[in-house]
Structure formats: C-alpha cells, structure tokens
Structure 1
Amino acid sequence: MSIAARDWLSAARLRTLPLALSSIIMGGFLAEKFGKFSPTIFGFACLTTILLQVLSNFANDYGDTQNGADLVDRVGPTRAVQSGKISPKQMLGGIVFIGVCSLLSGILLIYISFGGFTQLFWTFLAIGLLCILAAYTYTAGKKPYGYMGLGDISVFIFFGIVGVVCSYFLYSQTFNSQTIWPAISCGALATGVLNINNLRDIDSDRTAGKITIPVRIGRRNTIIYHWALLLVSIGSTLFFINNIGNVKPYYFVSFPLIILNGVQISKSSNPDPYLKTLAITSLAHVSLLGFSII
C-alpha cells in the first residue's frame, strides 16, 4: 500500500464506522422483527452510511485545520491535513468525490425502496441532502455548527432518530412508534462517543474558540452529562423491551459494558482510548438487542 493510500485510510478514520453502522443495523433488525427486511435495502443503506461517515471525517479533518482546532499539541490521532500528509486542496477534492458517491448511493437506495420517483422518494432525497450538508458543515465552512456546541444534537438526530426510524421506514414505508426507543438508545450512545471526543479536545477546542458542550460546562459536568447519556441509552432500551414482549435476554450483556465506559471516563485523565471502545460497545449493544428481538 502506498503512503498516500495509507494517509487517506487514516483520514477516513475507519474506527468510527462501527458507530455509524449501529443505527442502520438496528433498523435492519427491526425490519426483520416486523417481517419487512430486504437484503438489498440493507446493503445500500450500509454503503450510503459508510460514505456519509467518511465524508464527515474528511470534512472534520479539513475544517478543524482550517479553523485552527487541530493544534500541534492536540491529544488524539494526528490529522492528515494538519500534518501536511494531505493538502487542503486534495482533501477538498476528496470531500467532493465522497459527497457525490454518497449522493448516488443514497439515490439508488431510496429509488429501490420506493420503487421509483414517488413522493416519498423526493422526501427522502431531501433528508439525504440534509445528511450530506450536516456532515460537511459540522466543522467545515464559514459557520460550522460544531463550533457552536450543536454537534451533540446533530449526532443524536442523525445517528439515532434518522438512522433507526428512517432506515426502518425504507423497508416498511410505514412509521412504527416502537422504533423510537431503540433510536433514542443508539442516539445517546453515539452522542456519548462525540462527548468523549470533545472531552479529549477540551483544551485545544477552547483555545481555537470551538465552543463544544465540554468547553461550555467544564470537565466535571461533562462527566455527569456522559453518565446521563449512558443511562438514557439503557433506560430507553428497557422501555422498548418492556413494550415489545417476547424478547430473549441477550441485550442485558451490553449493559455492564456501557456502565464500564462511564467508570473509565470518570477515572481517566485522557479519555481517548475509550472513544473506540464505546463505539464498539454501541455496535455490540445493537447486535445483542437485535438478536434478542428476532
């Protein structure tokens, strides 16, 4: 593998993909539970989600360097643009390329799901365009919303509500209120991953004027906030289980792993190692919950 290829893979941040796929996998499990599952829709949903996540990671690498959040002394993985391995112009080209690929994949996904250019097709196309816009403007552009502390809300919506509820809708073309609870669970864990990232970068973000939740409320309150997110995920799962009935107990195995993350974040001065573990825990949680209901 060439050095350039390794740099692009590093910038894609493959370790974030399990988290991105968690909500899509949950939507697939729910579709299977209610007899609506389609392997084709699932495949294109996963592909579109992966492309959107890579787009977001490229834009984050590009935007944070342009806006001064990626300082030399930042904690965490070295960024491609900041280190000079990929130039800003090259990264912008990569953003455009991945953005077009995600749009084409998303169009195929909703065309197959709705059987043509129906009203639902155009509605979901608008949602898809909003996803692409949100992925880019999180840290890139003139007024990135991640610098105003709105990233948590965006992650909860797109990695939770949109990821689970909308992906289930692609299979069934109906809204099922039961899908809200696993969507909340997925969204809370995804927001927890972002919270760890922002807690790690609290000092460099403050210097760069990136006003994330941890910068606003401080380290101590951020840990309390993190516990709240983890407990919301567990609580919404229990509510879902209680309402759906006929469930195997596999889901319970993920609860100690979620609690362990809270303990680790509470005790560690550098939470970076636990970002990856919570992302994997989120995928494990979804898998265990999914196998519990089908």
Structure 2
Amino acid sequence: METTTSVKDALKERDGLHIWWRMLRPHTLTASFVPVFVGSMAAWTEGKLHVFLFIAMLLASILIQAATNMFNEYYDFVRGLDTDESVGISGTIVRDGLAPKTVLRTALIFYSISILLGVFICVESSWWIAVVGLVCMLFGYLYTGGPYPIAYTPFGELFAGFFMGTVIIGISYFIQTSEVNARIVLISIPVAFLIGSILLANNIRDLDGDRENGRKTIAILLGRKNAIGFLGLLFAAAYLWTIVLVIVHILPLWSLIVIFSAPKAYKAYSNFRGKTKPLEMFPAMIATGKTNSMFGILLGLSLLIDHFIG
C-alpha cells in the first residue's frame, strides 16, 4: 500500500470525478483533436467548412480515442499486466477500485455514441465514411483486444500514426470537400509522425514492464537508447517535412509557425535521456503529447490565417 500511495501522490491522482476524467487519459486525446482540426482547416482554405460536421467529427474522434484507452485499461488488467505500481495507466481499476466491467461498458457506450455521430456524418457526406470509421474502431479495439493485440507488436506506432493521423485528417477533409487528394495526404504526414511519437514515448517509458510481459514493441527491439534516438528522429522529421511542404508551396509560409513548438519537442526528447524509471519519464511523456497539441494547433491556425489573409 505504501507503493500505491507514492504512485498516486507522484501522479497527483485524486478521487471523485477525477477518477472518471483520468480514465479518459486526457493527455492522449490530442491524438484525436489535432487531426480533425488540421483536416478541417485544410478544407476551409478552399472555402468549405460545415460547422456541425466539424463538431460531430471532433466528438466522434475523441470518443473513439477515449474508448480505445479504456479497452487498453480493461484488457491489460484482465491479462494481469497492470498493477497498483504501474505508471502508464489511468489506475482507475487497480488503484481506485473501479469495476473492470464498468470500464468496458463505458468504452462500449462511447463507441455507440460515436456510431450515432457517424450516421449523421454519413448522411451529410457519404456512406463510405461508415466503412472507414468502422475499420478505425476495429483497430482501436484490436490495439489491446483480440487474440493478437497490436500493442504487443512493433507496429503500434505505425498503426496509430496512420489511422489517427493520415486517415482521420483525410476523413475530416473529405466530409467537408467530398474529395481526398495528394495535398491533404502530404499535409497529414508530420501529424502522423507526432502521433506515432506519443505511442513511442509511452512504450519507452513502459519498456521494462512490457519486456517482462512478453511484448515486442519497437522500443524493446531497438533498446532504450536507440528508441529515444528514434523519437528524436520522428520529431525532426515532422518539422523538416513541414518546411519542405512550405518550400514546394503545398503549405503556406504561415505554417512555419509550427517551429514555435520545437522547444517542447526538445524538452520531451531531453527528458527521456538518462532516465530509466517510469515515474522519472512521465514528464517526458506529457511533453510529447503537448508537442503534438502545439504543433497541430499551430499548423491548423496557419491554414486558417492563410484562408483569411492569403
């Protein structure tokens, strides 16, 4: 119990409604908000923005991400991977005593609401969105659910970056413009890099525990030092890709404002170096999520500025 108390204190975990808020893992929700914002702002540069579609897509994306987090919490607990000493979890089951079935039911409710929002989106755009949306939800479940969880493989970052980055940006753009083109795919790539980096940061922090539990994440295969180097490479690639897109006039000059988020990326990278304990690396994990938030908001704002100023 002493360890549990120290972990709760170190992570500043509180009781009451904070338990339910923490169950959403809010620091990861940037991976759902940013792609919708960027895709929608890219559509607005062409003078097309249906506000209610934007809101519905934003809510559906956040609900799917939150439900995925809950599936992760539930199945890791069922498989005996989470303990009261685990850092990379919300702790609502092992530390707060929330019933596992409650977590699972909440995830299913969130999925159900996102399906209803998806119906509205399909009615206003195209029923092909239903197919893509269901595939995204399936992979969200299969990340930790099913007989062969993606989270146990080296492909978690790839799937996260592709589905939460490129696919969600593409959907957000399509429902506004009724098309997907090479430009929006290219714009999505730096965001995909940063969303992948969130999962990589998580896996770096949890490397020792994941190895003991038989996972084969890319962080485990590379080793901690090389994985941190790979994280820095993903950060650099996101900024360099954006600069190239500005040079070739796919993004406006305003998009260079994303560079203002670079210090946060460097903080995340540097805070991982030399650290081996999960609690020591937790601030670096938070900084990685904030890097994605700052980068994505600045990228979306640059498109918005270009729409109004040109």
In structure 2, C-alpha distance between the alignment counterparts of 1:96 and 1:292, rounded to whole Å? 36
Find out whether 1:280 has 2:304 as its counterpart: no
Show the 5 A alignment for 1:103-182.
Answer: 103-112=115-124, 114=125, 120-121=126-127, 123-182=128-187
Percent of matched pairs sharing the same residue: 25
- Name the SS of the counterpart of 2:221 in structure 1: helix
Q: When the two structures are aligned, how many residues end up with a matched partner?
A: 286
- Deviation for aligned residue 1:267: 4.3
Find out whether 1:85 has 2:85 as its counterpart: no
| Residue of 249, 253, 264 corresponding to 2:271 | 264
- Deviation for aligned residue 1:89: 1.9
Counterpart residue identity of residue 263, structure 2: P
- Deviation for aligned residue 1:31: 1.0
Could you tell which deviates more after superposition, 3-12 or 194-203? Answer: 3-12
Show the 5 A alignment for 1:35-74.
Answer: 35-74=47-86
CA RMSD of aligned residues (A): 2.0
Counterpart residue identity of residue 243, structure 1: V
- Deviation for aligned residue 1:77: 4.6
Give the unaligned 5+ runs of structure 2. Answer: 1-13
In structure 2, C-alpha distance between the alignment counterparts of 1:275 and 1:110, rounded to whole Å? 35
- Deviation for aligned residue 1:201: 0.7
Residue 31 of structure 1: aligned partner? 43
Show the 5 A alignment for 1:226-265.
Answer: 226-244=231-249, 246-248=252-254, 249-265=256-272
- Deviation for aligned residue 1:138: 0.7
CA deviations over 1:193-238 (Å, ceiling 9, x no partner): 1111111111111111122111222101111211121112112211
- Name the SS of the counterpart of 2:148 in structure 1: coil
TM-score when scaled to structure 2?
A: 0.86
- Name the SS of the counterpart of 2:238 in structure 1: helix
Residue 202 of structure 1: aligned partner? 207
Could you tell which deviates more after superposition, 173-182 or 219-228? Answer: 173-182
In structure 2, C-alpha distance between the alignment counterparts of 1:174 and 1:100, rounded to whole Å? 27
- Name the SS of the counterpart of 1:82 in structure 2: coil
In structure 2, C-alpha distance between the alignment counterparts of 1:268 and 1:22, rounded to whole Å? 29
In structure 2, C-alpha distance between the alignment counterparts of 1:13 and 1:167, rounded to whole Å? 23
CA deviations over 1:18-56 (Å, ceiling 9, x no partner): 232111111111111122222111111110011101101
TM-score when scaled to structure 1?
A: 0.90
Counterpart residue identity of residue 19, structure 1: A
Counterpart residue identity of residue 42, structure 1: F
CA deviations over 1:29-87 (Å, ceiling 9, x no partner): 11111222221111111100111011011101001111232134323455222336222
The 4+ residue runs of structure 1 with deviation greater than 6 A are: none
In structure 2, C-alpha distance between the alignment counterparts of 1:189 and 1:22, rounded to whole Å? 10
In structure 1, C-alpha distance between the alignment counterparts of 2:25 and 2:231, rounded to whole Å? 23
